[in-house]
Amino acid sequence: MRDSYERFFAEGFISKEQFFEFGLNEIIYSPYDKAEEEWRSLKNRVDSNEEVFIRGFGRDASGTQLFLDLYKLLLGHSNVRKDPTNNAEPTRLIRRLTGYSKTESSNHKMIRNYQISHIFGRTKNVYAFTAPWNLVYIPKILDPFTGHEAKGKMITEFTVLFQRQGYEQFEGLIEEFNEIISNPDFINRITECIEILESDGKYQTDEITKLRKSVNEEFSPIEIEA
């Protein structure tokens, strides 16, 4: 196996461990107190049928309506919206919570060559897409280790470190998320709702199959490797 990342580090310019350490130290998180307040607000908006957001589902977001219909059945929620750019709401939120902005603003400190990242994914989960514990600014130089197309043992290694550090930052809030989606009644209700969507004839069998697969990923508890 010829891995370009391994070949780069083998040149000795910088060690893999040094590179990972730099990247992890440069990640910008929301302050815990602000994250906690925003998390409470998000849960309240979900419970109160107020506007909340998810990322589009499927090719060209063509399957998003499946998730919107699921949330109507599951939570009685009719105000779940697809984020207009798939990143507009996370961008707005992390700017407000951290005080940093990638664009010029008189109200924020300017940063450059950072990008917004969801630490734990789950961007179709209404509790996670704009959860402050799931959002960070990460140096763009780390994109080869966090992007969807990256593969290899080093990507796996960095992902474990990245997620472990994020969990340590927001453990209490993440465990609240886990409690919500691990509740047996909640799990059973998801199954019932998907069966209702399947039986009403609005969607094709392959669409329901894709929904089930995505739901299994989106509503899985966050577990960190030791």
Q: What is the pLDDT of residue 147?
A: 67
| 225 vs 89, residue with greater confidence | 89
C-alpha dihedral sign at 101, 146, 64, 133: negative
User: Cα-atom radius of gyration of the chain, to the nearest Å?
Assistant: 19
| Confidence band of 225 (pLDDT split at 50, 70, 90) | confident
Q: What local confidence, expressed as pLDDT, does residue 29 receive?
A: 98
At 45 the pLDDT is 98
Q: Is the pLDDT of residue 70 over 80?
A: yes
CB 146 within 8 A of CB 185: no
pLDDT, average across residues 93-119:
91
- Local confidence band at 142 (pLDDT 50, 70, 90 cut-offs): confident
- What secondary structure, in 3-state letters, does 19-50 show? HHHHHHHHCECCCHHHHHHHHHHHHHHHHCCC
Taking Cα atoms as reference points, which of 12, 5, 1 lies closest to residue 150? 5
**Mean model confidence pLDDT for the chain:** 92
Start-to-end Cα distance in the chain = 27
- The model's pTM is 0.91
pLDDT at 98 over 90: yes
pLDDT more than 90, % of the chain: 72
Are 134 and 122 in contact by the 8 Å Cβ rule? The answer is yes
User: pLDDT tens across 177-222, in order?
Assistant: 999 999 999 999 999 999 999 998 889 999 999 999 999 999 999 9
Determine the pLDDT at residue 199.
94
Predicted confidence (pLDDT) per residue in 71-89, tens digit:
999 999 999 999 999 999 9
The 10s digit of each residue's pLDDT in 124-141 is 999 999 999 999 999 888
Over residues 11-34, the mean pLDDT reads: 91
